[in-house]
Amino acid sequence: MLSSASLPLSRKTHRIAVGTLFFMLGLCFSSWGSRIPSIQQKLHLSEAELGAVLFALPVGLMLSLPFTGWLTSKIGSRKVVTIALLLYSSTLVLIGMSQSVLHLTLVLFLFGFGSNMANISVNTQAVGVESLYNKSIMASFHGLWSLAGFVGAAIGTLMIGADVEPLQHFFIIMAVIIAGLAIAYQYLWPKDAPAPTDQPLFVMPDKSLMGLGLIAFCSLICEGAMFDWSGVYFQKVVGAQKAWIAAGYTAFMSTMAFTRFIADWLTTKLGLKKVLQLSGTLTAVGLAISVIFPHMVTAIIGFLLVGAGVSAVVPLVYGVAGKSKTMAPSMALAAVSTIGFAGFLVGPPLIGMLAGLSSLRLSFATIALMGVSVALLSSRVKSEEA
């Protein structure tokens, strides 16, 4: 009787602990995203130069993918996520210390590396906790990440308005993350699903997961562009006043967070295919509105739609990957992420290059085509997955 009664409490405790880590990850990344315009101004970077520097972050992310999956399968996600969060938060402070383009580039590489270590390991934790439930809960974890993104963006807006330097801002965030990790650590999922003894460093996903990875690729181009360029877009194209530069980012993160909390329910009601098609459509429409009508109210509405559009794609792809029968969850996640996060690699620098060749508005219009691609590719999702 004691064991039966304690199970709901046990799984709830694990869920809260893992959810706390998702929140910490979102807070770290959104703190950086909200201060990109400040860093750009501090180092006197043009759009093209900023795009080139931003390339370092997804490069670090991509290079860490096979290593992180392999390491997590060897020593466990609990240890890896602890190491990764410490690296991730301390590197955030190093960003605030950057005094040159070279320094910022090197630090962003480490920031991307730590980001993906934390991403793969915390999603492996989520797969373990989800196994205790008879329903999908993956999107709700990602909802906490996005909720933290909204909080981090709001904090960033306040910090900018109060003329607080990024370094001081980032020190505060690091302290919060370390405290959250210290509290949650003992309640994390203790043991991952066993990996095959001959598990290689890198595993390609099967045909089905490859298709989902391509959908994630297109969505993450849009998502990466919004993370890194939304503040710049509002500053340069919308013409927002200083206190409102992060308004678009905040709008994007708010709907991303809300929609992720209902994405599991929507998927149960509508099916995977329809949710993915709806996601791509909302993304494309939102970006189109922001480009055609680059004014404060309309741009915010557009960014709200983009946030809702990209919200469910990655969680749904990860949920499928984590249930792989042929490889360990961490390796399956790493394999699918390699495809998906290539979009994160391409998006931000593509925006910068296109902006340098033409305009920031045209570059955002080009990214809208990726939302269309998500909707079209989703029609090929197999019926047994949908």
The per-residue pLDDT for range 129-175, each reduced to its tens digit, is 988 887 778 889 998 987 898 789 889 989 998 999 999 999 999 99
Helix, strand, coil percentages for the chain (3-state, nearest 5): 80, 0, 20
Domain count within the chain = 1
In a domain, 227, yes or no: yes
Q: Tell me which residue range forms the domain holding 296.
A: 11-186+202-378
Q: What is the mean pLDDT of residues 344-359?
A: 82
Structure tokens at 45: 């970077």
pLDDT for 204 equals 61
% of the chain exceeding 70 in pLDDT: 92
In a domain, 6, yes or no: no
Q: Is it the case that residue 26 has pLDDT exceeding 80?
A: yes
Distance CA 279, CA 359 (A): 26
- Band (pLDDT 50/70/90 cuts) for residue 382 is low
In a domain, 172, yes or no: yes
Distance CA 80, CA 69 (A): 10
Of 113-122, 274-283, 310-319, 321-330, which gets the smallest average pLDDT? Answer: 321-330
Distance CA 200, CA 181 (A): 30
Q: What is the mean pLDDT of residues 312-321?
A: 85
What is the SS3 assignment for 187?
helix
In a domain, 306, yes or no: yes
Please say whether the beta carbons of 355 and 363 come within 8 A.
yes
Distance CA 28, CA 31 (A): 5
Q: What CATH number does residue 112 fall under?
A: 1.20.1250.20
In a domain, 49, yes or no: yes
Distance CA 340, CA 377 (A): 13
In a domain, 192, yes or no: no
In a domain, 106, yes or no: yes
In a domain, 196, yes or no: no
Other CB atoms within 10 Å distance of the CB of residue 310: 32
Arithmetic mean of pLDDT over the chain: 86
| pTM greater than 0.85 | no
